Amino acid sequence: MTAKNFFLLLTVFLGFCDSIFAQEIKIILGPDKIALNQVFTITVEVENDRIKDIGNFPDIPGFDKVGQSTSSSTNIINGKYSTTQSIIQNYVPQKEGAFVIKPFSIQVNGKTINSSGKRVTVGPPVQQRRHDPFSYDPFEEFFGRRQPQEFIDVKEDAFLALTVDKDEVYVGEGFTTTLALYVAVTNRADMEWPSDISEQLAEIKKKITPSNCWEENFKITSLNPESVEINHKRYRQYKLYQAVFFPLNSESIHFPSVSFNMIKYKVAKNPTFFGRSRKAERKVFTTRAKTVKVKELPPHPLRDQVPVGRYFLSEEISDENLETGKSFTYMFSVQGEGNISAIDKPTIRETGVFDFYPPNIRQKINRSNNRVRGSKSFNYYAIPNEPGEYNLGDYISLVYFDPSKEKYDTLRSHFTVKVTGESKKNVAISSNDLGSFYDMIEFEKNNLENINRGDIVRLIANILIVVMLGLTIYLIFKK
Query: Is residue 21 classed as helix, strand or coil in its secondary structure?
Result: helix
d(CA 224, CA 204): 20
Lowest mean pLDDT among 19-33, 128-142, 262-276: 128-142
Residue range 102-121: average pLDDT?
A: 91
259: nearest Cα among 291, 281, 283: 283
Pairing of strands 278-286, 24-29: unpaired
Q: Is 2.60.40 the CATH classification of the domain at 3-126?
A: yes
Query: For position 37, what pLDDT does the model report?
Result: 83
Q: What percent of the chain has pLDDT over 70?
A: 80
Q: What percent of the chain has pLDDT over 90?
A: 52
pLDDT at 429 over 70: no
Q: Which CATH number fits domain 309-430: 2.40.360, 3.30.2410, 1.20.120, 2.60.40?
A: 2.60.40
List, for residues 54-63, the tens digit of each pLDDT value. 888 898 988 8
pLDDT at 146 over 80: no
Lowest mean pLDDT among 47-51, 90-94, 302-306: 47-51
Q: Print the SS3 string covering 305-371.
A: CCCEEEEEEEEEECCCEEECCCCEEEEEEEEEEECHHHCCCCEECCCCCEEECCCEEEEEEEEECCE
pTM comes to: 0.59
Query: Is residue 439 classed as helix, strand or coil in its secondary structure?
Result: helix
List, for residues 432-455, the tens digit of each pLDDT value. 445 555 555 555 666 655 555 566
The type of residue at 201 is: L
Lowest mean pLDDT among 13-22, 340-349, 465-474: 13-22
Residue range 19-48: average pLDDT?
A: 83
67: nearest Cα among 235, 266, 306, 261: 261
Domain boundaries, the chain: 3-126, 152-295, 309-430
Query: For position 175, what pLDDT does the model report?
Result: 96
29: nearest Cα among 124, 96, 116, 125: 116
Q: How confident is the model at residue 8 (pLDDT cuts 50, 70, 90)?
A: very low
> Does 309-430 match 3-126 at the fold level?
yes
Q: Which residues contact 474 (CB under 8 A, 6 or more apart)?
A: none
Query: For position 9, what pLDDT does the model report?
Result: 47
Task: Please give the C-alpha separations between residue 11 and each of 4, 14, 75, 80, 82, in angstroms, as whole numbers.
Answer: 11, 5, 18, 10, 16
Query: For position 279, what pLDDT does the model report?
Result: 81
List, for residues 62-83, the tens digit of each pLDDT value. 888 877 777 666 554 555 656 7
How many CB atoms within 10 Å of residue 35? 15
Residue range 344-353: average pLDDT?
A: 92
Residue range 143-158: average pLDDT?
A: 71
d(CA 413, CA 346): 11
Residue range 25-36: average pLDDT?
A: 91
Query: For position 259, what pLDDT does the model report?
Result: 95
pLDDT at 134 over 60: no
Query: For position 86, what pLDDT does the model report?
Result: 82
pLDDT at 143 over 60: no
List, for residues 86-97, the tens digit of each pLDDT value. 888 888 888 889
pLDDT at 108 over 60: yes
List, for residues 285-295, the tens digit of each pLDDT value. 999 999 999 99
pLDDT mean across residues, the chain: 83
